[in-house]
Structure 1
Amino acid sequence: MTTHPDRRWLDRAGREIDEEDRGLVYDVRTLVDRRHVLGLFGGLTAAGLLAACSPSPTVGPTPDTTATGTAGASTADGGLTEVPDETGGPYPGDGSNGPDVLDDSGIVRRDIRSSFGTSTTTAPGVPLTIALTVRDASTGDVVPGAAVYLWHCDRAGGYSLYGQGLQDENYLRGVQQVDGTGTVTFTSVFPGCYSGRWPHVHFEVYGDLGTAVASGPIVKTSQIALPKEACEAVYATTGYERSVDNLARVSLAGDNVFGDDGGIHQVATMSGDSTSGYTASLTIGV
């Protein structure tokens, strides 16, 4: 797969890939490339690397259910299971694939529903509060000063900065530094389900806020999975019509990102409803 200079995505035969399928194609390619690299280590070294992302078989929700626990399962030494590394996808907006929103004035914010700068467009949708708590996987302690960059698609499945007609928008993206409990809380809208992917939210963890807004070294890149029950309730509301069919064609267990372990360390705990809005909470080990 290649990209055309005007950002069209082409397959090996030179045919243009549909907008809604680009995320799936990119994610599959990225995961295949990553697993190929792991395979080069071989033997015990590869086993050790994979063990860091292996879930405990006795914790967490089963696929396609509403989560009731946290992402980081406790270990015997008081630490947490480290959340798996995942692809940032083709629309990160962090400078690694085209646009870089992280150095823009206004990116540090709690409410990410509207664009900032030249546009003030507000993304419509069912209200969603996202509370992400960052912990040291080895100790379970708060990571003081850590920062989180979070982004996701809009109600129609499009990503700001990249989607057709969305190149001048930067909504549903934001950066925050964790508070004293290690938590960042974003005010957003429930993302849609686009073709080939389970509904999800992307995030990157940085050592501190200055590093994040300078697109510095990333501590962790991963994704949050949204529970099926909440997705079905939201997608039954006006504006999410396309998500109904897309969700029916995917499963958490079969997702190319979450499917390895059913997302047991990445499925958010949900509260609320489709009328007043939901809160998605997740504790991650990094």
Structure 2
Amino acid sequence: MTGIQGPAHKRNMTRRKVVVAGGAAVAVASVGGGIAVNAFASETSDSSTSSDASTETCYKLTSETTEGPYYIDADKLRQDITEDKEGIPLTLTLKVIDSETCKPIKNAAVDVWHCDALGIYSGYESLSTGAGGGAPTDAPSGTPSDAPTGEPPSGAPSGAPGGGGGGGHQEPTDDERYLRGTWKTDKSGHVTFKTIFPGWYQGRCVHIHVKVHVDGEWTDAGYEGGHTCHTGQFFFSEESVLASAEVEPYSTSTTTRTTLTEDTIYDQSGTTGGLLKLKYNKKKIEKGVHASITMGVDPDETHDGTDDAVQPGASASASAS
């Protein structure tokens, strides 16, 4: 497996190709019969998240994390990754900067992927734990399956493997590709995705996976070459997750929820660790959420997430999905 490599390895690139998907982008799934046109007109900031971009220290590297077992290369080139999945509309705005120079990185290929509102990953529906509370094959038996609350469930394993995939990559089991996509950063380093607020599954807090690829080439066929300079995960405040748990279909889940402080992948470092800044109407989160973060990366390094250090407190098995 490829580990963290220095600049000398920058030119030793492996070929990466993303196939362009045909057809028009699919609109974001509606919640409760429709989405308000001005979804964020009455938005309020989630005070439990990190400080805004104006106070960020741009020289800090964003934490590297495990890739997890459910990454699929050659995802669809698109910004709207919702397909027909139901859930709270989420606009995810990312900015990628060079952590040393603080300059934006343009034309980088950014991958995002996450589970649906009930904890299922596309491409791995038969392996995902899902909303029924079924424990993965390597989880302890007798794990409780209570409705989500603000407190960790009694006796719940800390950082138990989630999704049944263990720490290594799993081959896809189906052809579904919802809630996955790739798009390029603009000249200011920004890229935006339309998706839904993720759900949860046993052993992990609510999160989104991300990869940043640089030094490749955009062609008619997609994105080719280059290397992965960052593999990370984004996290959501407890306040926002508890609010989402009151909205269908999230409210129908009976899966034990791991809190942000329990999670063994999140390193508790706020923005540096991937904690998103969130804006939404706290009384009507179902109207939509806007999430944003600036990622500081080192474009000369290689971090593909298959052999990067797991965050403090995490066991090898806890790096699952």
Q: Which bin holds the TM-score, normalised by the shorter protein?
A: 0.5 to 0.7
Show the counterpart of 1:91.
Answer: 70
Given that 1:82 and 1:284 are in contact with CA atoms closer than 8 Å, whether structure 2 keeps it comes out as yes
Are 1:185 and 2:187 an aligned pair? no
1:169 to 167, 176, 180: 176
How far the C-alpha of 1:149 sits from its partner, in A, is 0.6
Q: Percent identity?
A: 33
Give CA deviations for 1:166-190 in whole Å, capped at 9, x if unaligned. 8221010111111122111000011
1:230 counterpart = 2:240 = yes
Q: Is the 8 A contact 1:73 1:81 kept in 2?
A: no
- CA displacement at 1:162 relative to structure 2: 1.1
Cα 1:243/1:228, change in 2 over 3 Å = farther
* Distance of 2:225 and 2:54 partners within structure 1: 26
Output the TM-score relative to the length of structure 1: 0.64
Higher helix share: 1
| Structure-2 residue corresponding to 1:67 | 49
Distance 1:72 1:204 in 2: 24
CA deviation vs aligned residue, 1:30-69 (integer Å, no higher than 9, x gap): 9xxx8xx9xxxxxxxxxxxxxxxxxxxxxxxxxx972142
Alignment partners' CA distance in 1, 2:216 and 2:242: 35
Other-structure match for 2:119: 157
Q: 1:70 and 1:232 mapped to 2: Cα distance? A: 22
Equivalent position of 1:240 in the other structure: 250
Q: Deviations over 1:123-163 (max 9, x none)?
A: 11110111111011011110122120111101110110112
Inter-CA distance 138–262: structure 2 relative to 1 (3 Å threshold): closer
Q: Against the structure 1 CA distance between its residues 150 and 208, is the aligned structure 2 distance closer, same or farther, given a 3 Å change threshold?
A: farther
* 2:81–2:179 CA contact under 8 A, matched in 1: yes
Aligned to 1:196: 203
Is the CA contact (8 Å cut-off) linking 1:252 and 1:263 kept in structure 2?
Answer: no
Count of residue correspondences: 205
Deviation at 1:284, TM superposition (A): 0.8
Q: Give, in whole Å, the separation in 1 of the partners of 2:278 and 2:96.
A: 18
TM-score by structure 2 length? 0.57
- Whether contact under 8 Å (2:79, 2:194) holds in the other structure is yes
* Counterpart residue number, 1:276: 287
Q: Which residue of 1 aligns with 2:96?
A: 134
Which ranges in structure 1 are unaligned for 5 or more consecutive residues? 1-29, 38-63, 95-100, 115-121
Show structure 2 runs of 5+ residues with no match. 5-45, 128-172, 298-321
**2-structure distance, mates of 1:243, 1:113:** 20
Query: Secondary structure of 1:232's partner?
Result: helix
